[in-house]
Structure 1
């Protein structure tokens, strides 16, 4: 991780953030990337302790100074924060300081979208101090890509790895543009420095074709043999002719209903799609020429205002430890590649909404992953069958990006 200090830390805990990032050292042995310290991107409402641009994601780190050290901090995004069971009272009367942090991260995501920079996922880290032993967050907040933590090197590193979820790594050229968008003043690092931090020097091949197999279910496992002698063909033909005569006699005697029953073929079995050893069974699929009615939140607003040619969705089923998982994948074809990048930036922004399931309803607290290729944006969501999702399903959502949407 290469550090570039642009200004003073706006919070006292920002010094801990800088110290944690410094321990990672230069290069990509830990996570790689470039951290801009003390930066205030254009249109951002406040200075930020750090914006970390990694090959597979962007972290917006906002420091929050607590009045005292704490053993346990309850930190919901919407609700009262509590320190060791006591409500945290802020000078301006807000129930918690996370609101400003999320607004700042949203402003950075919108800035990246407006400037059509690389659509990496933008996540939020609220760094709290001077010391907190344990932070408790609702699962729904974790699924939004927001982490509240005391910035020890290990906890901050774990969050960086967990939140950097882009299927494709950012190239050197894209990274330079992204850094310039976040901080227009100054110059991005040289190409050699960006390569050393894990950014690619060329577009990465599409992962959709990697480690994916289609395995049809076999309805008749008995092998056929082609090594019989020719005289067996004549014998077989005679037997078949005899059976046809018998079948005609039975059909005529039993009526049309019986004949229809004899000629009925079994329904085809679904195809199993295997991605990295995980089997996904298709359940249903649907295609829409109008995309906006199948979305909600900011995603729907963007689709109303912009052209979307087609939406393809498919539902799959898999299992983890004998517990069923419902997976919904969506592929949206928009006007052009720049539009796809702009739309993807909206999709990955915290709290921006998403695409409904095939039943027309949002998936509750779904594990989420997304990718982009050309004019198409791919979205994968995973929840426990009949219920909501949790972080345990993040790996399933990433795998599901390689599933066909039709």
Structure 2
């Protein structure tokens, strides 16, 4: 990560942001990219604590200074923030500092569109300090690409990795134009410097390893005379071909007879992978089960609700994730015949303390060396017309917390796994 200081820290917590970025060091050993500190992009009403440009995302980092250290911060994008249960009061009378951060993100997005820079996702990080032990964010805000956190090196790094989701990386040449559009001095970086910070060169690895055999142009192709009909094969050649065919048939019969009661295996079948990958994170299946009785497989208010609104189908699946450390993922996909029921169920499932659909581990269908339970799981949900997906994630062999940034990042990725049929 290369740091380019273009101004002072507009907030006190900005010093912590700068220290966290500096801790990653230059080059790509940790992350890579370029961080513009104290920059005021065109159209932005205030200087930013940091504007981080990575090959797969642009992050707008806005600092918010709290009156004092906090153990718990409730930070919704809509509504008043609360610090340890007390409403956050600001000198400008605003209920929440989130709107100021979102306005900065909109300004950066508009500027990148204006200069026709490489289209990258532009996300928001609201850095809070002087210290916050636990930040509570609604799941819907996380899906919008907004993270509220105390900028420790580890927490900021986790957030950056979760948000860097672009399918196509920005090349070094494209990054030069992007940085020049954000600030004149930032455009002084040349392609070689950006390549050393993880931006790919214009010639990608795939192209560099491709075959470079020359193919003649159409007009240079030699004129080919009309083909001469092949001579009829003599009797010796025909007999040799029949003999070879007989040997092949005999081998097939021998192999088939030695297989006993086993089913024949299809030839030339493409190998299938049991894993699914989202943003370079592998999800290994550990079991699944289908049902049509959601009330029987749930508890609490959710079970009572299912008694009055039966589902049309339920698929529960378990996955294991081993990076950066072992985690267990429980996914329940609930199908309904009425989209209104799906919407109502998601609202109920998103409400803490209303019960849930039982995971397969609690039903005694876990796996060896898997989690003992999903206690303290991070939670996420999504809805697709008539289907609702509910995700829970816990560490395996370690305590878990619903507000764990890494667990929530895994849950957000699990929402994008291919839906079962």
TM-score range, shorter chain: 0.5 to 0.7
| Mapped partners of 1:389, 1:127: distance in 2 | 29
Aligned to 1:386: 387
- Equivalent residues of 1:171, 1:203 under 8 A apart: no
| Mapped partners of 1:121, 1:186: distance in 2 | 20
| Mapped partners of 1:90, 1:14: distance in 2 | 18
The secondary structure found in structure 2 opposite 1:162 is helix
Deviation at 1:185, TM superposition (A): 3.9
Aligned to 2:130: 130
- Equivalent residues of 2:181, 2:187 under 8 A apart: no
Matches within 5 A, 1:6-405: 6-202=6-202, 204=204, 227=249, 277-278=275-276, 319-321=317-319, 323-325=331-333, 386-387=387-388, 391=408, 392-396=410-414
| Mapped partners of 1:120, 1:276: distance in 2 | 31
Question: Deviation string for 1:185-232 (max 9, x for gaps)?
Answer: 4533222211111100025489xxxxxxxxxxxxxxxxxxx948xxxx
What do you get for the CA RMSD once the two structures are aligned? 3.8
The secondary structure found in structure 2 opposite 1:71 is strand
Deviation at 1:276, TM superposition (A): 7.4
Question: Deviation string for 1:281-335 (max 9, x for gaps)?
Answer: xxxxxxxxxxxxxxxxxxxxxxxxxxxxxxxxxxxx9955474559xxxxxxxxx
| Mapped partners of 1:276, 1:112: distance in 2 | 40
| Mapped partners of 2:183, 2:390: distance in 1 | 36
Question: Deviation string for 1:150-192 (max 9, x for gaps)?
Answer: 1111111111111111122210101111111111345332222
Structure 2: give runs of 5+ residues left out of the alignment. Answer: 207-247, 251-269, 278-314, 320-329, 348-380, 392-407
Deviation at 1:273, TM superposition (A): 12
By percentage of residues, which structure has more strand? 1
User: 1:75 and 1:273, CA in 2 relative to 1: closer, same or farther beyond 3 A?
Assistant: farther
Aligned to 1:249: none
**TM-score normalised over the length of structure 1:** 0.56
**TM-score normalised over the length of structure 2:** 0.54
Deviation at 1:51, TM superposition (A): 0.3
- Equivalent residues of 1:69, 1:130 under 8 A apart: yes
| Mapped partners of 2:416, 2:387: distance in 1 | 20
| Mapped partners of 1:273, 1:320: distance in 2 | 22
The secondary structure found in structure 2 opposite 1:39 is coil
| Mapped partners of 1:5, 1:176: distance in 2 | 17
Question: Deviation string for 1:319-360 (max 9, x for gaps)?
Answer: 55474559xxxxxxxxxxxxxxxxxxxxxxxxxxxxxx9xxx
Query: After the TM superposition, which of the residue ranges 385-394 and 38-47 deviates more from structure 2?
Result: 385-394
| Mapped partners of 1:274, 1:99: distance in 2 | 47
| Mapped partners of 1:3, 1:129: distance in 2 | 21
Higher RCO structure, 1 or 2 (CA under 8 Å, sep 6+) = 1
Deviation at 1:275, TM superposition (A): 7.2
The secondary structure found in structure 1 opposite 2:154 is helix
User: 1:325 and 1:172, CA in 2 relative to 1: closer, same or farther beyond 3 A?
Assistant: farther
The secondary structure found in structure 2 opposite 1:187 is helix
- Equivalent residues of 2:2, 2:26 under 8 A apart: yes
The secondary structure found in structure 2 opposite 1:159 is helix
| Mapped partners of 1:382, 1:136: distance in 2 | 19
Aligned to 1:296: none
